[in-house]
Amino acid sequence: MRQSQLFTKTRKEAPSDEVSKNAELLIRAGFIYKEMAGVYSYLPMGLRVLKKIEAIIREEMNMIGGVEMQTSALQEKSVWAKTNRWSDDVVDNWFKTQLKNGTELGLSFTNEEAFSSLMKGFITSYKDLPAYPYDFKTIFRNEARAKSGIMRGREFHWKALYSFSRDEKDHNEFYKKIRQSYISVFDKVGLGGRTYLTFASGGTFSKYSHEFQTVSDAGEDIIYVDEAQGIAVNKEVLNDEVLADLNMSRESLQEKKAIEVGNIFSLGYKFSEPFSLTYKNEEGDNNLVYMGSYGIGISRLMGTVVETLSDEKGIIWPESIAPFTVHLISIGQNDKAQELYETLTTKGVEVLFDDRETSAGAKFADADLIGIPHRVVVSGRSLDQGGVEYKKRDREQGEIISVDDFVSQF
Ligand code: ATP
Ligand code: MG
């Protein structure tokens, strides 16, 4: 894409009421637009990042049998009344609205009821199981505090998968697989080293649930990390005599601030029971379906990357989710930059081509702020020296290399 055609502009300052680093950098670099506290629009480059994260998750979910679909955002009262989650006294973060005739509706704040109710229309026999539907969805929550930028939105994006299994044994096998997929997802988006599988309380149907917590000072959660094992526990598990079966002792744990980027949960019959979601087994008996739920906060993940992978000049995107792979900067009018743009795009490389008539200094500052991993500058001087000036975003120094050498690495 030509930067001259990108309508967004970088800004020196973020809105004065913005206190989080992720929103400040993302707004200044032109990835998101603040509509109001906790509500952000995704600008072209922000959407590209979001879609890349989605693509990584989609690939992992499909690999273990996930099937993508889309549940509606408008939800009816009767469905949520079944599990006693309609009342504002029980769930305090609903956004609700009404039809013209006064019928009450709610905007999805989560998805268990929507999927359980929907799957009742499709599951009748053991042959229909297992099923692993998932969706990427905009979720609405009337969060009391919205000070963490896109990490805690009142409108945000997530992936949720629900598993429908015949019994606990089948469920546990899938649970192990998706736990592994989650680890892969966080590795691939560049958060692997600092994201811990964290044991949290499990509810009625299993001893533990698991959160995926990324260590960061911007985190709202406190976790206790066992560095030797590379796992962590949540506060609620800390005082449990549970620690023993995790091979942990309190003394070996380090307290850290962390961001919950995802979680996986065995639901058992909690949702199948109120919906009478049953299947006939081989003998013709009715059994309740065994369920699990698996969420990843996509916008929170994007914010977490910015919080943890940035420097004083701006964002440093991992290549896997960067809006573009190459930031091609043309200094002065030159045909070589144009030629290189065409060569790279023909090769399928995603390039942001800074073809604007602006000073070199402004272009470099923008490139640092935007954070595309490979920066290549074509100027009269670089051409005199035999090529282009190439610098990775996370390096201090650039180098002159020939155009061919630069292109051949992609
Ligand atoms: P938290 O304790 O941080 O409020 P939660 O327990 O309410 O999170 P879930 O309901 O399990 O979260 O949602 C699944 C995932 O969605 C979370 O792991 C998190 O990554 C993300 N998420 C939750 N709330 C928000 C929000 N307000 N904005 C952005 N992402 C969110
Ligand atoms: Mg919450």
Per-residue model confidence (pLDDT) at position 78 = 97
Per-residue model confidence (pLDDT) at position 194 = 96
| 38-47, 111-120, 153-162, 238-247, range with the lowest pLDDT | 238-247
Query: Does the beta carbon of 265 sit less than 6 angstroms from any atom of ligand 1?
Result: no
Query: Measured between alpha carbons, how far is 105 from 97 in angstroms, rounded to an integer?
Result: 5
Query: Does the beta carbon of 110 sit less than 6 angstroms from any atom of ligand 1?
Result: yes
**Do 377 and 329 contact (CB within 8 A), yes or no?**
yes
Query: Measured between alpha carbons, how far is 248 from 251 in angstroms, rounded to an integer?
Result: 8
Query: Measured between alpha carbons, how far is 136 from 38 in angstroms, rounded to an integer?
Result: 19
109 CA closest ligand 1 atom index: 10
Query: Does the beta carbon of 300 sit less than 6 angstroms from any atom of ligand 1?
Result: yes
**Domains 3-311 and 324-408 belong to one CATH topology:** no
> Which of 263, 267, 296, 304 to mutate for ligand 1's pocket (most ligand atoms within 8 Å of CB)?
263
Give distance in angstroms: CA of 260 to centre of ligand 1.
Answer: 7
Query: Does the beta carbon of 264 sit less than 6 angstroms from any atom of ligand 1?
Result: no
**The pLDDT of residue 154 is above 90:** yes
Residues 6+ apart with CB under 8 A from 34: 15, 18, 23, 27, 40
Give distance in angstroms: CA of 48 to centre of ligand 2.
Answer: 26
The pLDDT tens digits for 115-149 are 999 999 999 999 999 999 999 999 999 999 899 99
Query: Does the beta carbon of 295 sit less than 6 angstroms from any atom of ligand 1?
Result: yes
> Which of 142, 158, 298 to mutate for ligand 1's pocket (most ligand atoms within 8 Å of CB)?
158
Q: Which residue has the tokens 């990108």?
A: 6
What is the 8-class DSSP label of residue 355? Answer: -
pLDDT-based confidence at residue 243 (cuts at 50, 70, 90) = confident
16 burial class (0-12, 13-18, 19+ CB within 10 angstroms)?
A: exposed
- Whose CA is closest to atom 15 on ligand 1? 297
pLDDT-based confidence at residue 334 (cuts at 50, 70, 90) = confident
What is the amino acid identity at position 390?
A: Y
**Do 210 and 232 contact (CB within 8 A), yes or no?**
no
Query: What are the residues facing 375 on neighbouring strands?
Result: 327, 391
The pLDDT tens digits for 348-403 are 999 999 999 999 999 999 999 999 999 999 999 999 999 999 999 999 999 999 99
**Record: fold of 3-311:** BirA Bifunctional Protein; domain 2 (3.30.930)
Residue 374's closest CA among 308, 317, 313, 326? 326
Per-residue model confidence (pLDDT) at position 238 = 86
- Whose CA is closest to atom 27 on ligand 1? 152
Give distance in angstroms: CA of 109 to centre of ligand 1.
Answer: 10
Query: Does the beta carbon of 263 sit less than 6 angstroms from any atom of ligand 1?
Result: yes
**The pLDDT of residue 333 is above 80:** no
Please provide the average confidence, as pLDDT, over all residues in the chain: 96
**The pLDDT of residue 224 is above 90:** yes
Per-residue model confidence (pLDDT) at position 316 = 98
Task: For residue 300, give the ligand nearest its CA.
Answer: 1
Query: Does the beta carbon of 186 sit less than 6 angstroms from any atom of ligand 1?
Result: no
Task: For residue 211, give the ligand nearest its CA.
Answer: 1
Give the start-to-end residue ranges of the domains of the chain: 3-311, 324-408
The enclosing H or E element of 117 equals: helix 112-119
Query: Does the beta carbon of 38 sit less than 6 angstroms from any atom of ligand 1?
Result: no
- Whose CA is closest to atom 28 on ligand 1? 152
Say what the pTM is: 0.97
- Whose CA is closest to atom 13 on ligand 1? 295
**The pLDDT of residue 240 is above 80:** no
Residues 6+ apart with CB under 8 A from 380: 331, 332, 334
Give distance in angstroms: CA of 117 to centre of ligand 2.
Answer: 23
The CATH number of domain 324-408, selected from 3.40.50.300, 3.40.1190.20, 3.90.1510.10, 3.40.50.800: 3.40.50.800
Residue 372's closest CA among 332, 329, 316, 330? 316
Task: For residue 234, give the ligand nearest its CA.
Answer: 1
Mean pLDDT of 227-245: 87
**Do 137 and 111 contact (CB within 8 A), yes or no?**
yes
146 CA closest ligand 1 atom index: 27
Neighbours of 271 (CB within 10 A): 24
Residue % of the chain over a pLDDT of 90: 93
Query: Does the beta carbon of 109 sit less than 6 angstroms from any atom of ligand 1?
Result: no
